[in-house]
């Protein structure tokens, strides 16, 4: 899919990830929030899920340079997303942030979910400061809390218990398509 805009987003291409992208993604687009091993494991598992039709990974690029990526996961680990696909692992390269690429990519994933007949799409967001931009973006795009509180490792947290403030502490949001 090629889109034409009158700003920075001119000639942006959103395309499905290919096996040949794997090495480049692992080498140059590792998430700094995770170790190299975690990144390698993530891309291998994600690509396998794509080949099984569980996940579709999209790359957003301009002039063959990768600006970011994100995926649609048809079977979320979060138990309350029943027949609700999850927009997962959205990442825009630092220097290309605040130019609308994250919005574009998410809208593309929403369109894909809609085309597949889903009536709702979901997304999880972390609670600590690094997730501030994502929290603002998702609310701006119309996502709302799903009403089940927060989870740690996909299990609802229990009042009075202690949990680390990490990437597994998540608030889940949904949006009607």
Ligand X SMILES: CC(C)(COP(=O)(O)OP(=O)(O)OC[C@H]1O[C@@H](n2cnc3c(N)ncnc32)[C@H](O)[C@@H]1OP(=O)(O)O)[C@@H](O)C(=O)NCCC(=O)NCCS
Q: Note whether 125 and 135 are within 8 A (CB).
A: yes
Report, in Å, the least distance between residue 65 CB and ligand X.
Answer: 15
Q: Does 107 bind ligand X (CB under 6 A)?
A: no
12 vs 137, which CB is nearer to ligand X? 137
CB closest to ligand X, residue no: 102
Angle at 142 between CA 136 and CA 116, to 5 degrees: 120
Q: Please give the C-alpha separations between residue 50 and each of 92, 116, 131, in angstroms, as whole numbers.
A: 20, 15, 26
Among 4, 82, 71, CA closest to 42: 71
Report, in Å, the least distance between residue 43 CB and ligand X.
Answer: 16
Q: Note whether 41 and 32 are within 8 A (CB).
A: no
Site for ligand X in 123-152 (CB under 6 A): 125, 131, 133-134, 136-137, 140
- Select from 3-11, 78-86, 91-99, 154-162 the region that touches ligand X (CB under 6 A): 91-99
112 vs 123, which CB is nearer to ligand X? 123
Cβ-based neighbours of 24, under 8 Å, separated by 6 or more = 66
Q: Does 172 bind ligand X (CB under 6 A)?
A: no
- Residues lying near ligand X in the complex (CB under 6 A) are found at 90-92, 97-103, 125, 131, 133-134, 136-137, 140
């Amino acid at each position: 899919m090629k889109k034409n805009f009158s700003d920075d987003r001119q000639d942006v291409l959103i395309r499905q990830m290919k096996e040949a992208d794997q090495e480049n993604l692992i080498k140059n687009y590792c998430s700094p929030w995770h170790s190299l091993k975690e990144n390698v494991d993530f891309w291998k598992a994600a690509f396998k899920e794509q080949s099984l039709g569980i996940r579709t990974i999209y790359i957003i690029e301009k002039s063959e340079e990768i600006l970011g990526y994100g995926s649609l996961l048809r079977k979320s680990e979060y138990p309350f997303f029943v027949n609700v696909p999850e927009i997962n692992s959205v990442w825009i390269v630092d220097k290309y942030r605040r130019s609308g690429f994250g919005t574009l990519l998410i809208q593309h994933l929403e369109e894909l979910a809609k085309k597949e007949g889903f009536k709702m799409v979901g997304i999880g967001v972390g609670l600590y400061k690094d997730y501030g931009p994502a929290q603002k973006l998702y609310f701006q795009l119309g996502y709302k809390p799903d009403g089940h509180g927060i989870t740690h490792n996909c299990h609802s947290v229990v009042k009075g218990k202690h949990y680390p403030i990490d990437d597994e502490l998540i608030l889940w949001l949904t949006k009607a398509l």
